[in-house]
Structures are given as structure tokens and as C-alpha cells.
Structure 1
Amino acid sequence: MGANTSRDANQRLQRLEETVSQCEKEIHALMEDVADHALSVEADGSTAQSDGEAASDNWFRLSQLCDRLTRSRLAQARLHERAMPSPTEIRIKVEAAERMVARAEKRLAAEPEAH
């Protein structure tokens, strides 16, 4: 049976955190390069054609990184949602804890009567 997923599509939380961190670092580095380029153009008043071509490559890479960062953060949010218990599970656990406390209080009240 064929599938429309890749091996990297299903990642653990640690891997997603690494991906987010790496994307943020690369985006920061690209933005620094762009800022440096803008400052040099502003100082010189002109730019070489090769710098313009490299800058357009940076914009494409920046777009890719932003897309990957967005998808990774969305996957992280989904993992966190799945890890949280549902309201029904929480209610069941609270009710069970209340019953345990009630039984313990009943036993405690019976102890002095027994002695």
C-alpha cells in the first residue's frame, strides 16, 4: 500500500524542538546578512550584481525556513494537545480521588471508635 508521507513527517517532540531551534538560528543569520548587506549598500550607494543575486537566494531560503518553522511549531502544538488529558478523563480522575479521600476519612473516623 502506498502512503503520502515521508519518514520526516512523523517526529518526536525532541526532534521538533531541534528543528525549531535550527530554523530560528538560520533565520537569524540570514536576517543579519540582509541587514549587513543593506548597511553596505547604504554606505556605498551602489551594489554589485552578484550581491543582488545572492540576496534573492537568501529570500528564497528565508521563505523555506519560515515555512518549515511554522509547520514544526504547529506539529509541536498538536503533540502538546494530544498529551493533555481530555476533560472527561480529568473528571473521572477527580471523582476517583474524591472517593479515595472519602474512604480515607471514613477509616480515620472509625479508628478512634475502635480504640
Structure 2
Amino acid sequence: MTPLSITVTDHDTCSVITLVGELDRLSADRLRRTVERLVDRGRTRLIADVAELTFCDSVGVWALLECHHHAATMDGWLRVAFVHGTLKRILQIIGTTRAQPSTTDLIVLMDR
């Protein structure tokens, strides 16, 4: 088990949330709290860099979706970048990688 490390880097137009390790039922609340703090301070355009995510269970996927919806309530969004492996397949199955997504969809920006 690799504990989840979360690093936030603010840029002019968005904040990048870098996730390293395992996003699961034990760590999902940390991601939710991080996003809540960002949104509370007006950072509503978010990119989750999951290139170094080694595991993501269903609770982790649900947390990503909840974080997107939380940002969306403030006219923002969460995008997921550098998706790979099982997480990529899960996001494809649940329809987050559509060619014509709506503005309320979690969108996978790119994979590795």
C-alpha cells in the first residue's frame, strides 16, 4: 500500500492537483477536503494529474466525480490528466471520455 500524496500548484488559469500513490476509501476524503479548500478560495478550475497514481478503487473514482461536481457548483470543473491503466478503462466505461462531453462531465484530458 502506497499512501496518497497530494500536491497543489496554482497557475494563473487553474490549479493542478498532483496525486501520487493510492486513491481509495482510505484516502478519498483527503482529496475531497483539498478540493473543498481550493473551491473555498475561488480556485474552481482544477486539473487532477494522475500520472503517478498507482491504484484507484471505486471510492476514488467516486471522489473524483464528486470533486468535479463540487467545482461545477461554482461554475468550475475538474479535469483528469495523464490517465492510465485500470482508471483509464473505468473512466471509459462510465462515459467520461466522450468526444462530445457536456459541460457537467468530468473530462479526461489526455493519457500516457
Q: TM-score, normalised by structure 1?
A: 0.23
Q: Which has the larger radius of gyration?
A: 1
Larger proportion of helix: 1
Higher strand share: 2
Structure 2 length-normalised TM: 0.24
The structure with higher relative contact order (CA 8 Å, sep 6+) is: 1
